[in-house]
Structure 1
Amino acid sequence: MKIVDTRHPFYRPLWRRVAITGFCMLWTAFELWQGNHGWAVIVGGMAALCAYEFFIAFPKDDDA
């Protein structure tokens, strides 16, 4: 089951994938700084999922 449809054209530009992943990482750091470890684990999992889906398992260009 795919949580994020990485074939959607919205995710094609690299800067959007970096921005989404970076935002999740900053949010995780913020939650840790506030002492909310439960939320930090949840958002850290989202950041890890984004990093995997957007940079490791991201579909290569079919045109090339």
Structure 2
Amino acid sequence: MKSNTAHPFLDPLWRRVLLVVACAVWAAIETYHQNTFWATMVGAVTVYGAWEYLYNYRPSTEDKTPDSGA
């Protein structure tokens, strides 16, 4: 399944890192308060976000390939 995670707002690395860190902090807070269901849910979102936005991210500028003109 091809997901569309490329957006010009997320092209700077610091924004993607901030997004993943915010989710990780949220998961840690839920764990601290012993809300295991929400800690698991937000932890899964954190893992997915790290995969899509840090490991597998392609900038939105790469999506626009010019025609070769041949």
Normalised by the shorter chain, which TM-score bucket? Answer: 0.7 to 0.9
Q: TM-score, normalised by structure 1?
A: 0.84
Q: For residues 28-43 of structure 1, what are the structure 2 equivalents within 5 Å? A: 28-43=27-42
Q: CA RMSD in A?
A: 1.5
Rg comparison, structure with higher value: 2
Normalising by structure 2, we get a TM-score of 0.77
Q: Structure 1 stretches of 5 or more lacking a match?
A: none
Determine the C-alpha separation between the residues in 2 that align with 1:6 and 1:39.
24
| Structure 2, unpaired ranges of 5+ | 63-70
Quick one: distance in 1 between partners of 2:30 and 2:54? 24
Q: 4+ residue runs of structure 1 moved beyond 4 angstroms?
A: none
Identity among equivalent positions (%) equals 37
